Chain A
Amino acid sequence: MIDWSGYIGLIFEGAWVTVQLTLMGSALAVVVAFAAGLGRISRFMAVRALATTYIEFFRGTSIFVQLFWVYFVLPFAGITLTPLQVGVLALGLNVGAYGAEVVRGAVKAIGREQREACIALNLSRYQAMRHIILPQALPLMLPTFGNNAIELLKGTAVVSLISLTDMTFQAQVVRAQTGSTLIPFATILVLYFVMAWLISLGMRWLERRVTRGLDGVRA
Chain B
Amino acid sequence: MEWDWEFVRQIMPTLIEGLQITILATILGAAVAAVVGLVFAILRMVAPAPIARTTSFAVEFIRGTPLLVQLYFIFYVLPDIGIRLPALLAGVIGLGIHYGTYAAEVYRAGIENVARGQWEAAKATNLTARQTWVHVILPQAIPPMIPALANYLIAMFKETPLLSAITVLELMNQAKSIANSNYRYIEPMTLVGVFFLIMSLISVFFLRWLEERYARVDER
Contact = CB atoms under 8 A, between A and B. Distances in A.
A-B complex is real: yes
20 contacts: A59-B200, A60-B200, A60-B204, A61-B197, A61-B200, A62-B161, A62-B196, A64-B159, A64-B161, A64-B172, A65-B172, A65-B192, A72-B189, A73-B185, A154-B66, A160-B68, A161-B165, A181-B79, A186-B77, A193-B61
Taking chain A's interface residues, is the majority helix, strand, or loop, or is none over half, making it mixed? helix
Given A68-B189, A150-B64, A185-B77, A61 B72 contact: no
B76 interface: yes
Nearest to B184: A76
A212 to B, nearest CB: 28
Contacts of B165: 161
A56 interface: yes
B189 A185 contact: no
Contacts of A192: 64-66, 69
B67 interface: yes
B196 A61 contact: yes
A38 interface: no
Given A65-B193, A68-B172, A182-B80, A168 B69 contact: yes
A59 B190 CA distance: 16
B193 A157 contact: no
Interface in B159-186: 159, 161-162, 165, 172, 176, 179, 185-186
B1 interface: yes
Nearest to A192: B65
Given A62-B159, A64-B162, A158-B66, 8 more contacts: A76-B186, A154-B65, A175-B76, A181-B76, A182-B80, A186-B77, A189-B65, A197-B64
Interface string B71-84: 01100110110000
A68 B204 CA distance: 23
A155, A189, A197, most chain B CB atoms within 10 A: A189
Interface string A56-87: 11011110111011001100100000000000
Contact of A189 (B1, B73, B80): B73
Interface residues of B, number: 36
Contacts of B179: 72
B69 to A, nearest CB: 6
Interface string B179-219: 10000011001101100110011001000000000000000
A175 B161 CA distance: 22
A160 B158 CA distance: 18
A110 B80 CA distance: 55
A128 B178 CA distance: 54
Contacts of A171: 69, 72
Given A182-B77, A185-B77, A72 B185 contact: yes
B186 A188 contact: no
Contacts of A57: 197
Contacts of B189: 65, 68-69, 72-73
A175 B80 CA distance: 12
A78 to B, nearest CB: 10
A188 B189 CA distance: 29
B161 A60 contact: no
Contact of B196 (A56, A60, A153, A186): A60
Nearest to B76: A181
A69 B193 contact: yes
A154 B62 CA distance: 11
A91 interface: no
Given A72-B189, A192-B64, A181 B161 contact: no
A154 B61 CA distance: 12
Interface string B1-41: 10000000000000000000000000000000000000000
Contacts of A189: 61, 65, 69-70, 73
A167 to B, nearest CB: 8
